[in-house]
Amino acid sequence: ALLAGTGAFLLVRTRFLPWRNLGYALRAALGREARVKGRDGDVTPFASLMTALAATIGTGNIVGVATALVAGGPGALVWMELAALLGLSTKLSECLLAVKFRRQNRRGEMCGGPMYVMRDGLGLGRLGAALGAVYALFAVCSSFGIGGMAQANSIAGALEASFGVPVRAAALATAGLSLAVILGGVKSVARVSAGLVPVMAALYLGAALAVLWGCRENLPAGIALIFRCALSPRAAAGGAAGTLMNTIRWGVARGVFSNESGMGSAGISAASAATSSPVRQGYIGMTGAFFDTCVVCTVTGLAICCSGALGAVDAAGNAVDGAALTILAFRSVLGPAGGLLVSFSVVLFAFTSILGGAYQGEKAFEYLFGVRRVLLYRLAFALAVLWGAAAELEAVFCFSDICNALMCLPNLLCLLLLSGLAARELDDFQPEVRRKRRKKL
């Protein structure tokens, strides 16, 4: 209720500008100007978006969608989409405010995010600083969970299932490669993310669309089933028995796990962008929720529902879940190559999520303990990746959900208190949006 309610409130408060200007936001994110580095910042606006997407396009898009469909029924996909659409306004405000209240650290790097907004933007003095410290603490814990352990667990599972790689070897390789990249700081993370994220997303989307084309005859019935289960008091399907509230719970939870709207983490990445306009970077950052959920999660969910894979059981009679369900859906059309492609996508998605999550957690750690102790965080994060690879999947997801909720509470409160400031900034920028539209026409 708080996640969706805050998104709805911000949407109304900003006069639906996040929806009205979605076209402008997509052009700003993908245009040539976003690839040009300005004076104030560490990386280009596009690289900043890719760093944020690296943290969000991960196991939630493959494993999380399948888990939501099994536990909450096909209707959970609708609630994932609704959470993302409302989350556009939330993420826009997060990124806008993060850039507006960012500052430089001793190394000359930009630092920003909800913790700085709470400290410097709320005008509450020590109370604002304390609220920022609480958020930063939760953000560090969340980076270990959603950013490290959950992603490493999926990598190890995918490599073992598809390629026979021992879990211990996968854990060591993942932790080592992650540490090698994050030791280079934000520029290293952004460089790897900007190279991998567009390629891996295009590869996965191409395969998913091929699956949908292969089962196109089932597409109308599959879409009808999804919407019918989204509103049904007994929204169960595929072996999942539950109520409408269960469907909403799983849809929203996995949606937040996937696009992170309301958590404030995207603002940490947005603050590194070399831009002079907080609003323009806010619009660019907002597209992360659209690409992540409205595009990638949608095609995953439709492929599972239309392929007939949902409801399948294994040899023990248990419902097929997680990455195995998505693999089954892709194999139904693409054969063995489809399963290998999903496993490869899981590895790439999860690895880039580790990098993005590490950067965001590092900036939160820096807020608490200063830039000199950042190396301690990087080593601790690598150990979390190492441990998470062999942990129980259910425990990892439960820990991640708890950390996500703890991050959301202070962040959403801050967004509500500063909603007026965000609305004024967006109104002042509206002439620029109109000018860009006239130029395009």
Side chain identity at 79, as an amino acid letter? W
Confidence at residue 235, expressed as pLDDT on a 0 to 100 scale: 45
Span 337-350, pLDDT tens digits: 988 888 888 888 88
Summary mean pLDDT of the chain? 87
**Could you tell me the pLDDT band of residue 285, with boundaries at 50, 70 and 90?**
very high
Host domain of residue 272 = 2-440
Confidence at residue 366, expressed as pLDDT on a 0 to 100 scale: 93
**Could you tell me the pLDDT band of residue 240, with boundaries at 50, 70 and 90?**
very low
Q: Which of 8-12, 63-67, 304-308 has the lowest mean pLDDT?
A: 63-67
The CATH number of the domain holding residue 72 is 1.20.1740.10
Q: Which of 157-166, 217-226, 414-423 has the lowest mean pLDDT?
A: 157-166
Span 179-217, pLDDT tens digits: 999 988 878 888 888 888 888 888 899 999 999 999 999
Strand partners, 223: none
Biggest alpha carbon–alpha carbon distance for the chain: 62
Residue 290, pLDDT above cutoff 70: yes
Per-residue burial over 253-264, b if 16 or more Cβ lie within 10 Å, else e, is bbbbbbbbbbbb
Side chain identity at 177, as an amino acid letter? L
Tell me how many domains the chain contains: 1
96-105, 145-154, 221-230: which is most confident: 96-105
Neighbouring C-alpha atoms within 13 Å toward the C-beta of 236:
6
Average pLDDT, integer, range 12-36? 92
Q: Which of 6-15, 252-261, 306-315 has the lowest mean pLDDT?
A: 252-261
DSSP assigned state of 103: E
Handedness of CA 251, 252, 254, 259 (dihedral sign): positive
Confidence at residue 236, expressed as pLDDT on a 0 to 100 scale: 46
Average pLDDT, integer, range 277-293? 92
Q: How many CB atoms sit inside 10 A of residue 133's CB?
A: 17
